[in-house]
Structure formats: structure tokens, C-alpha cells
Amino acid sequence: MKKKKNGLPILYIALIIAFLYLPILVMILYSFNETSATGPFTGFTVKWYESAFRNQKILDALAVTFSIAGIATVVSTVFGTLTAIGIFNSRMLTQKIVTNVTYVPMLNPDIVTGISIMLLFVYAGIPRGYMTMLMAHITFCLPYVIFSVLPKLRQLDPNLYEAALDLGARPGYALGRVVIPQIMPGIITGALLAFTMSIDDFAISFFTSDEANLSIYVYSAAKRGIKPEINAISTVVFFGVLALLIIINFRKKKEN
């Protein structure tokens, strides 16, 4: 009796998960399809993977995506953590103003953030390229780091930092040895969020740069029709993300 009661909800969850994975599975399947059409499956091949990894445009786009994400993550994590410590120690009014302004890129639609930063570059006379994309990415990654670290600082026992100072630690040393280790989970969460936001970004990059990251490449290619090469790249990206998540989860379990 009890088992039957559970059956319907489980079926519902299964259906939703099937819906979420259906296009991904279709993409993986078609990345191995002999013909480039999306019709019936005609035969197994890996030629799309070969041509995708020989396609200079795809390789360039991948290099831009990952290098921007890497640099933007490191910069925004360090910069954002320092900022959070600074905000936490500021007056209430300053905290209020700064956090509200920092919410703006998170709450504004990406397209609005994108065009507004584009206007800045256009009228400052800065040619849009790799650097402008990087600056835009740092801008939208920073809020995620700041808002991941701030709550951890608020949970912190202030006596510990003071104790370190009373025992003769210099403020910088106390910060590095007492505060930073305790807010580490927040810093790591912030860094992971920043990395995924940067990897996934389309709208802001699209307006702030003439370089193509993976999203921009897919956008311009897909507008011209379906390319099996994109299926191959998607499959690689999907398994890459999957592997990354498994590693993160594995590390978490090990720590516990």
C-alpha cells in the first residue's frame, strides 16, 4: 500500500528528469550520426569530433572561453574576498549602499548589463576585444564572490580575530591565518559560481567584445543551421561538466 503511494510521485520526478535530459541525449546520439541531417540515424562515426577539433574557429572559441573564465575567476575571487572583508568592516550606511549597487548586475537582465558596459567602452574609445570581455566578466563575477563571502564573515566569531591581535599577530597575519581559513567555504563557493557564470555567459560577452567565446560561436553557427560539429562539442562539454561536478562532490565527501 505504502509503495503504491510513492509510485506516482516517483514517476512524475522521472518524467521531469527525462524531459531535462532528452535534448542532451539526442545531442550526444546525433554527434555520432553519419549524415549531417537531423533525420534518421544512418550510421556510427566519430568524424564530427575530428573535424570539430580541427576547426580553428572552435579551438579559438574554446581558448577564449576557458582563459577568460580562468582569469576572471582568479581575479574576482581575490578581489571579491578583499572587498567583502572591507565591506564587512565599513559603516552600516556604506554597507547598505555598496551591497545594493552590487545587486544591480545580478538583478538586471544580462542584455541590459551587456549593452550598458558596451556603451561605456564605445564612448571611452576602447576597442572591444579580449580585454573588454575580461573586464565585463570580472564585473559580473564579483557580486557572486562578494555575496558568497559576506554571510561567512557575518557568522564569524569576532573574538577570534581579536584574540589573534591580542596575542600579538599583525592584522595582515591575523587575517590570513584566522579569518581567511574560516571563510574558505564561502570563497570556494564564490569561485565556483564565478567560473560557471563566466563559462556560460553569452549576452554580456556578445555586446562587450568582438572576440567569440564558445556561446558566441554556437550562436552564430546555429543561426546558419544545424552543424553536427556543435553536437560533438556539446557532448564533450557535457561530460567535462559532469566530471568536474563528480570531482567536486568527491572532494566534499572526503572533507566530511
Partner 1 sequence: MKKKAKNIGVRADVNNRNKWCAVPYYVWMIIFIVVPLVMVVFFSFTDSDYHFTTANYEKFLTRGANGELIYVTTLLRSLGLALIATLICLIVGYPVALILSSKRIKRSDLLITAIMLPTWMNFLLRTYAWMTIIGRNGLLDTLLALIGLGPVEMIGTNGAIILGMVYNFLPFMILPIYSVMAKMDHSLVEAATDLGANPLQVFLRVKLPLSMSGIATGITMVFMPAASSFVIPNLLGGNKVSMIGNTIEDQFKSAGNYNFGSTIAMILMVCILLSMLIFNGKGDKEEMIM
Given a contact cutoff of 8 angstroms between Cβ atoms, the answer to whether 140 and 107 are in contact is no
Compute the distance between CA of residue 17 and CA of residue 21 in angstroms, rounded to an integer: 6
Under the binding rule (CB under 8 A), the answer on residue 70 touching partner 1 is no
Judged by CB under 8 A, which of 1, 7, 20, 224 binds partner 1? 20
Residues in 177-216 that interact with partner 1 by CB under 8 A: 193, 196, 199-200, 202-203, 207, 214-215
Under the binding rule (CB under 8 A), the answer on residue 66 touching partner 1 is no
Under the binding rule (CB under 8 A), the answer on residue 156 touching partner 1 is no
Residues in 29-58 that interact with partner 1 by CB under 8 A: 30, 37-40
Quickly list H helices, the chain. Answer: 2-30, 47-52, 56-88, 92-107, 110-124, 130-155, 158-166, 171-174, 180-200, 203-208, 214-223, 228-255
Q: Label residues 16-37 b or e (16+ Cβ within 10 Å = b).
A: eeeeeeeeeeebbebbbbeeee
Residue 227 φ/ψ, nearest 5 degrees = -120, 125
Q: How far is CA 109 from CA 48, 113, 244, in A?
A: 35, 7, 28
In the bound complex, what is the minimum distance in angstroms from residue 54's beta carbon to partner 1?
20
Contact segment (CB under 8 A) with partner 1 among 42-50, 53-61, 66-74, 90-98 equals: 90-98
Candidates 36, 142, 125; CA nearest to 84 is: 142
Residues in 113-142 that interact with partner 1 by CB under 8 A: 113, 115-120, 122-123, 135-136, 138-139, 142
Compute the distance between CA of residue 73 and CA of residue 256 in angstroms, rounded to an integer: 25
Under the binding rule (CB under 8 A), the answer on residue 256 touching partner 1 is no
Contact segment (CB under 8 A) with partner 1 among 5-13, 47-55, 56-64, 66-74 equals: 5-13
Nearer to partner 1, 63 or 106 (CB): 106
Judged by CB under 8 A, which of 59, 131, 184, 226 binds partner 1? 226
Nearer to partner 1, 51 or 88 (CB): 88
Residues in 165-184 that interact with partner 1 by CB under 8 A: 165, 171, 175
Rg (CA), the chain: 23
In the bound complex, what is the minimum distance in angstroms from residue 51's beta carbon to partner 1?
17
SS3 (DSSP) at 49: helix
